[in-house]
Amino acid sequence: LSARSPLDAGRVPSGEAASILAEQAEAVVPWLARFQPVRLKAAVLPLVILAAILPFSWTAAVVLLVAMPVIPVFMILVGWKAKAASAAQMVEVGDVNAFLLDRLRGMATIRSLGAVEAVAQRVRRDAESLRARTMAVLRIAFLTSAVLELFAALGVAMVAVYIGFHLLGNLPFGAWGDKLTLAEGLFILLLAPAFFEPMRDLSAVWHDKAAGEAGMAALQRLAEAGATLPGAQAGPPARKTVAAPALRIESLRFRHAGAVAPGGAVSLSIAPAEHVALVGPSGSGKSTLLSLIAGLALPDSGRILIDGQPFDAQSAAELRGRMAWIGQAPHIFAGSLAQNVTLGRLLETPDSLDEALRIARLDQVAARRGSAPSRGG
């Protein structure tokens, strides 16, 4: 996921990706850890119990054998519906998370445009839709348990009725020509509920199967190949201090996914330490050009040279390590000045932070606040 380019139009939104990794992926573990062993138990143990009952009464064995296949058939039918409902619920969760994260990032714009109430109404509609899908999944889970308990109770009741009337002499058949003793009848009655016990355990984890398969499908969709970040597989670039480089762009063309034709060719030369402003209407390609210079994607044709070194998949990681980017709305994190400047990076020397503040002309601001940035202030 980290190797996908930000310019990839098919990239999963950040909120949805976080939902898949933090919530939906957890459903895969119970499916693999609990469902598979319980399914094996449900396939083997009833046959063992049936083999233990058969020498005493073939009628009781037939009753259990007839009741047994009905349960998996109905569970499979209900399971198809449960799988579809779980998948729809997880998609809804991902969409809601992606929507919330996008609106939180643009909260300042939403307030400035007076669209807070419209966004709140959308959140309420999405929350109500998610509630309905969650209740649908729960209804199906309860239906699965109800179907199992119904047929299990019918099977045990039919065996109990047969044993009772057989001991009374009203149903003298079914014991291989003999009559069951009281001990043999009690033995069969005690094994009849245990015959359906593995199916009860399977019903308890049946929802784990539906949720796990839906979670696995979401993870596979998250791992689908897309536009990769050039040099993403390369190791971290070596730290070194370099002078301001020269930039040269020669006949650069790039076409976004789904675009009919690439934009016009761009050629540009920027001297070291020169300040250049890209000006143009929205959609003219300013952000795309900056993304290509930053190595977030490779051009369709033309080339980019930084200090004479071609910008390609082999050199992308190293050249990106020498770049800095400042967004339109920088964020100040709740922490020290040093933490906001380093953003988790290790300092090469104790004086590196002071030098960075001096270059950014923030050294006087830090001095007025009386802080010691190199010590975490």
For residue 304, being part of any structural domain is answered with: yes
Average the pLDDT over each of 5-19, 58-72, 310-324 and give the range with the smallest value.
Answer: 5-19
Q: C-alpha distances in angstroms, 127 versus 234, 289, 345? A: 42, 39, 39
> What is the pTM assigned to this prediction?
0.47
Nearest to 151 by CA among 23, 234, 46, 271: 46
Q: Tell whether 129 and 174 lie within a shared domain.
A: yes
Q: Are residues 200 and 311 in the same domain?
A: no
Place of tokens 């033995």: 187
The per-residue pLDDT for 4 is 66
Please write the tens of the pLDDT for every residue from 178-223: 788 888 888 888 888 888 888 878 777 776 777 777 778 877 777 7
Q: Is the pLDDT of residue 170 over 50?
A: yes
pLDDT attached to residue 80: 74
Is the model's pLDDT at 260 over the cut of 70? no
Question: Tokens at residue 226, please?
Answer: 């897309």
Residue 225 has pLDDT above 70, yes or no: no
Residue 285: closest CA among 304, 262, 257? 262
Residue type, 306: I
Q: Starting at the edge strand that comes first in sequence, how are the strands of the sheet with 247-253 ordered?
A: 266-270, 247-253, 301-306, 309-310
| Model pLDDT, residue 375 | 47
The predicted pLDDT at position 377 comes to 45
Taking only the tens place, the pLDDT of each residue in 142-155 is: 777 777 788 888 88
- Specify the range with the lowest mean pLDDT, choosing from 7-11, 61-65, 183-187, 278-282: 7-11
Q: Quote the pLDDT of residue 78.
A: 73
288 shares its domain with 254: yes
Is the domain of 207 the same as that of 70? yes
Residue 228 has pLDDT above 70, yes or no: no
Mean pLDDT along residues 110-129: 87
pLDDT, averaged across the chain? 78
List the CATH number of the domain containing 159.
1.20.1560.10
The pair of three-digit structure tokens given for residue 174, joined into one six-digit string: 């079914």
Q: Supply the pLDDT for residue 374.
A: 46
130 pLDDT band (50/70/90 cuts)?
confident
Decide if pLDDT at 39 tops 70. Answer: yes
Last residue of a domain, one of 189, 222, 255: 222
Residue 288 has pLDDT above 60, yes or no: yes
- Both 71 and 37 in one domain: the answer is yes
Quick one: 200 and 306 in the same domain? no
Q: Report the distance separating Cα 67 and Cα 153, nearest Å.
A: 10
Whether the pLDDT of residue 309 is over 60: the answer is yes
142 and 267 in a common domain? no
Q: Are residues 350 and 312 in the same domain?
A: no
The better pLDDT of the pair 240, 69 is held by 69
257 and 132 share one domain: no
Domain membership of residue 7 (yes or no) is: no
In a domain, 231, yes or no: no
What is the rounded distance in angstroms from the CA atom of residue 161 to the CA atom of residue 5?
69
129 and 71 housed in the same domain: yes
The number of folded domains in the chain is: 3
283 and 218 in a single domain? The answer is no
Which one of 222, 257, 275 terminates a domain? 222
Lowest-confidence range among 141-155, 157-171, 231-245? 231-245
Q: Which residues constitute the domain of residue 362? A: 337-375
Cβ burial 270-293 (10 Å sphere, 16+ → b, else e) = beeeeeeeeeeeeeebeebbebbb
pLDDT for 329-350, tens place per residue? 677 777 777 777 777 777 777 7
Task: Evaluate whether residue 366 is within a structural domain.
Answer: yes
Confidence (pLDDT) at 233: 59
Confidence of residue 232 (pLDDT cuts 50, 70, 90): low
Question: Per the domain annotation, does 328 fall within a domain?
Answer: no
* CATH assignment at residue 252: 3.40.50.300
* Contact (CB, 8 A) for 274 and 326: no
Sign of CA dihedral 363, 368, 369, 374: positive
Residue 345 falls within a domain, yes or no?
Answer: yes
The pair of three-digit structure tokens given for residue 150, joined into one six-digit string: 């119904």
**Per mean pLDDT, which of 35-49, 64-78, 207-221 is the most reliable?**
35-49
Task: Kindly state whether residues 311 and 371 are assigned to the same domain.
Answer: no
